[in-house]
Amino acid sequence: MKAACVVLMSLALACDGANPPTGPAIQASASAQTGTSIPVAGTFSLAFEPTNVRQVDGNTFIDFSFHEQVSGSILGTRDGTGTLVIHPDGTLNVTDTGFLTGIVAGVSGAVNAEVRAQGTLASVAGSVTIYPQTGTGGFVGLQGVVMITGAATGPTTLAGSYEGQLNF
């Protein structure tokens, strides 16, 4: 069985290799008021570690844990778990969820961020959804969807960029 590597940032990217990559983190900065909409853009790097690998109907399912660093408009880290599915034709789908701790628009806090992405072993694109009911500290009520793109930088690492809008 081939070992697979996934790079997520939430992002997400997979590549053949011995070690898997990890996921994204989000942090924000600035003094935000309730009802404030903030454009965000920046980069992320992710590393992951497989926790379970199985095959079903020709598809390879890889459960993993990850750690992600986020920089730019969002500064912080995200840690969590996810599942990568590699299909027989080489395409993939990945979903992960993790708690982002950081700074956005000068405000610090933590919030759950979920990534859904698809692509191939060479390139992945998707979205990160921030759920307002999960925020703590200054991130209470923070919500939005951020688009991500990424590529593997090693057998268990991924780097990419994000762009979108967050709302306090």
76-97 tens-digit pLDDT: 999 999 999 999 999 999 999 9
* 115: β partners: 96, 128
What percentage of residues in the chain have a pLDDT greater than 90? Answer: 69
DSSP label of 134: G
pLDDT of res. 110: 97
87: tokens are: 């299909």
Say which residue the tokens 């990568």 belong to. 84
Would you list the domain boundaries of the chain? 4-167
Residue 134 CB: number of other CB atoms within 10 A? 18
Q: What is the pLDDT of residues 50-63, one digit of tens each?
A: 999 999 999 999 99
Say which residue the tokens 């990945």 belong to. 94
pLDDT of res. 157: 83
* 146: β partners: 128, 164
One digit per residue, the tens of pLDDT, for the chain of length 168 reads: 333 333 333 333 333 333 333 333 333 333 455 678 999 999 999 999 999 999 999 999 999 999 999 999 999 999 999 999 999 999 999 999 999 999 999 999 999 999 999 998 789 999 999 998 999 999 999 999 999 999 888 878 889 999 999 999
In terms of CATH architecture, what is 4-167? Beta Barrel (2.40)
Residue 57 CB: number of other CB atoms within 10 A? 6
What's this model's pTM, rounded to 2 decimal places? Answer: 0.78
